[in-house]
Amino acid sequence: MSRVCDITGKRSRVGGGYSNRTRATKFNPTGARRRQVNMQKKTLFIPELGRKVTVTVSAKALKTMQKRGAFLTLKKAGLI
């Protein structure tokens, strides 16, 4: 399963780890780490189509679908 959201296009990013001890010593032993997206695999029933659709979306995209409606959001993303 790819870690890319079907709707928002969010993907993993690399971010620096920075501890509080680093601020005191001016030495950064933590290095970079990969920040993963909160991906969810959901099966949604779309009444307009009369069928179920399985999508891999981020938690942010789920909130967007609740706000706008699943059918319009998936249609705008080109998944339907």
DSSP-assigned letters across all residues of 4-42? S-TTT----EEEE---HHHHHHT---S-EEEEPP-EEEE
CB 53 within 8 A of CB 80: yes
Provide the whole-model pTM.
Answer: 0.71
Domains, the chain: 13-77 (2.30.170.40)
| pLDDT-above-90 percentage for the chain | 61
Query: Each residue of 33-71: pLDDT tens digit?
Result: 889 999 999 999 999 999 999 999 999 999 999 999 999
pLDDT at 1 over 60: no
